[in-house]
Chains A and B, each alone.
Chain A
Amino acid sequence: MRKNGLLSLVYHAFFIAFILAPLVVVVLVSFTGKGYISLPTDGFSLRWFRAIGNATEFVAAFWLSLWLGLASATVAVVLAVPAALALVRYRFPGRGVLTAFFMSPLMIPHVVLGVAFLRFFSTVGVTGSFFWLALTHVVVVMPYALRLVLASATGLDRDAEKAALSLGASRLTAFRRIVLPLILPGVVGGWMLAFIQSFDELTMTVFVATPGTTTLPVAMYNQIAHTIDPLVASVSTVLIGGTLVLMVLLDRIVGLDRVLIGKG
């Protein structure tokens, strides 16, 4: 494999700068001491972080996004595990179609999903319900959970389960003691990825959000549409920090390349 020459490395540096620029700028701006968007050239200040405490709409939106993410990730994983086992262990007619169906939300523009869910909510009359909002998030994030659980389940040695049966374990015990521990990385990784996707989701949620069910990204979007001030930047910095933590965890458990690329 050829090595990278100087030209390549310079290009690479510019590319990385391009990738990081917006995020770095957001973080820097959040430390400004002034009352408007500016770089902290006069020294770093935490005033805009303290201001988060008073921004009740953002705080409420944060909690909503948190609970929403926890709920939808959990439900998504609970549904994905049996589905993944079904798809991996059995060869049955319709298996390909079923897999494609479960992955289909990835192919549907979130705008379309937002429109569809909005229409559904108003027809059924559940606009503003946290429960139904969570269910729509489950639909949107399940492909991410499913993909990771599938990867774990595919690598499972089928004979190990048969060995457990031959040694006297019941089907349930074999699942609990052998299958579950071995697919756990995929399950936990899938949960975390689903949580992140739910928390970050904007485009679809913007259609179905109500004053009582406003997620953090939606609240931030609404704010930015009005005026951009450093408060949004400091909230963003907190989010970036949280994402970094989750990324480290995700890397430890499943391996970040597995998560981001798939067949890593």
Chain B
Amino acid sequence: MTFLQLDQLGKTFGDFRAVESLSLHVERGEFVSLLGPSGCGKTTTLQMVAGFVEPTRGRILLNGTDITATRPEKRGMGVVFQSYALFPHMTVADNIGFGLEMRGMPRAERLRRIEETIELVRLPGLGKRYPKELSGGQRQRVAVARALAVRPEVLLLDEPMSNLDAKLREDMHVELRGIQRHLGITTILVTHDQVEAMTMSDRIAVMHGGRIVQLATPYEAYERPDSAFASTFLGKTNVLRGTVEARNARCCEVRVGDALLHVPHEARDFAREVNVYVRPEKVRLAPADAGSGVAGTVRTRLFLGNHWLIEVDSALGPVRVSHPNIGPVPPAEGDAVAVQWHDDDLRILDTEAIHG
């Protein structure tokens, strides 16, 4: 049942088209991420949903009601800002309770709800402190608590974790997801961090140039990107340029250099000049004298803890391999190797510009 519907939303600032004909249906309780680089229009979209920016075109419907013209204070959304935007002159408890105050909740009930929410975000005992006395991570939790205290219809998160350090961010991903599941609040997250998007979302909307270029679950978006942009923005990938020589019902034969690759085409259309994509973790290293695979030499080998990052100079060009840290140490720099993969792990797309 569609709970939040964005219908052909568009926003133009002067000459600049920030958002272009964006449509999105979000189910009740679903967690959707708007993922993309700076300037792709994701924050503008969020601001339109929150009501801080008036759309140039399109509508926003919440549970069937058109809220496009509704003022932000009447929309009942909870917003977490990138800078947290806490009220510096109020205590943590007053910050969290502000929305409840605005709704006229009686004091006793308000205090109870504030306590509950403080426990929910795990900030026990900090109710009387002021924002400037808190660490960055604690301030972020207060911002989340403040938005959640009113039990909003929709939770809007604008890159809320970009100011946290890496370890804290990872912890918050899991925690925030847990809270969202527990409360069942429909949520939209805006981020440029694809790990964040994949960790937390039910579905990801990959955005580029003001449009959604792919809307899918994290697995689908990662495994089956629709566009060159999506495939290079989500995760890392090897790009091999080639020419289509033959095509049958299931796959194509693509000549890349001297080799002939068999790539499943998944009923897509493309021109003769194509890019073949294969993710580094799907490439295996084999001894140089193995029968199958493409021959090459190890150019660089870096150890990254849970995997090795190996770059191989091969007949197809440079190939990046992500080799898990299991078993013996992989071949060293300068050694001869062969790179292998399952044909099913290859993807094929047109040679369009990768950074549009």
Chain A residues closer than 8 Å to B52, beta-carbon distance? 162, 165
Chain B residues closer than 8 Å to A178, beta-carbon distance? 87
Minimum CB–CB distance for A165 against chain B, Å: 5
The number of inter-chain residue pairs (CB within 8 angstroms) is: 67
Minimum CB–CB distance for B11 against chain A, Å: 17
Say yes or no for B283: interface residue by CB 8 A criterion: no
CA distance A165 to B150 in the complex (A): 13
CA distance A177 to B76 in the complex (A): 19
Say yes or no for A115: interface residue by CB 8 A criterion: no
Minimum CB–CB distance for A253 against chain B, Å: 14
Say yes or no for A41: interface residue by CB 8 A criterion: no
Q: B89 and A165: CB pair below 8 A?
A: no
Given A162-B79, A162-B81, A181 and B73 contact (CB-CB distance below 8 Å): no
Q: B98 and A167: CB pair below 8 A?
A: yes
Say yes or no for A166: interface residue by CB 8 A criterion: yes
Chain B residues closer than 8 Å to A182, beta-carbon distance? 88-89
Say yes or no for A169: interface residue by CB 8 A criterion: yes
Q: B81 and A168: CB pair below 8 A?
A: no
Q: Main secondary structure on chain A at its contact with chain B? A: helix
Say yes or no for A170: interface residue by CB 8 A criterion: yes
Q: Which residue of A lies closest to B97 (CB)?
A: A167
Say yes or no for A160: interface residue by CB 8 A criterion: yes
CA distance A182 to B147 in the complex (A): 21
Say yes or no for B218: interface residue by CB 8 A criterion: no
Question: CB within 8 A of B89: which of A159, A163, A181?
Answer: A181
Say yes or no for B91: interface residue by CB 8 A criterion: no
Chain A residues closer than 8 Å to B192, beta-carbon distance? none
Minimum CB–CB distance for A88 against chain B, Å: 17
Chain A residues closer than 8 Å to B295, beta-carbon distance? none
Question: CB within 8 A of B102: which of A157, A168, A171?
Answer: A168
Say yes or no for B268: interface residue by CB 8 A criterion: no
Minimum CB–CB distance for A254 against chain B, Å: 15
CA distance A170 to B78 in the complex (A): 15
Interface string of B55-96 (1 = CB under 8 A from A): 000000000000000011111111101110111110000000
Say yes or no for A164: interface residue by CB 8 A criterion: yes
Minimum CB–CB distance for B152 against chain A, Å: 8
Chain B residues closer than 8 Å to A170, beta-carbon distance? 73
Q: B89 and A167: CB pair below 8 A?
A: no
Say yes or no for A173: interface residue by CB 8 A criterion: yes
Chain B residues closer than 8 Å to A167, beta-carbon distance? 73, 78, 98-99, 102, 146-147, 150
Say yes or no for B254: interface residue by CB 8 A criterion: no
Q: B72 and A162: CB pair below 8 A?
A: yes
Given A169-B102, A178-B87, A182-B88, A163 and B79 contact (CB-CB distance below 8 Å): yes
Q: B98 and A164: CB pair below 8 A?
A: yes
Interface string of A166-207 (1 = CB under 8 A from B): 111111011001100110000000000000000000000000
Chain B residues closer than 8 Å to A165, beta-carbon distance? 51-52, 71-73
Say yes or no for B182: interface residue by CB 8 A criterion: no
CA distance A163 to B142 in the complex (A): 13
Interface string of B89-113 (1 = CB under 8 A from A): 1000000001100110000000000
CA distance A163 to B87 in the complex (A): 9
Minimum CB–CB distance for A119 against chain B, Å: 46
Chain B residues closer than 8 Å to A159, beta-carbon distance? 81-83, 85
Q: Which residue of A lies closest to B73 (CB)?
A: A165
Q: A160 and B102: CB pair below 8 A?
A: no
Say yes or no for B50: interface residue by CB 8 A criterion: yes
Interface string of A151-165 (1 = CB under 8 A from B): 000000101101111
In the A-B complex, the 8 residue pairs with the smallest Cβ-Cβ separation, listed nearest first, are: A167-B99, A159-B85, A168-B102, A166-B79, A163-B85, A159-B81, A165-B72, A160-B85
Where the two chains meet, the residues of A that have a C-beta atom closer than 8 Å to any C-beta of B are: 157, 159-160, 162-171, 173-174, 177-178, 181-182
A168-B73, A168-B76, A168-B99 given; 10 more Cβ-contact pairs under 8 Å: A159-B83, A160-B85, A160-B88, A165-B52, A166-B73, A166-B147, A167-B99, A167-B150, A169-B102, A171-B73
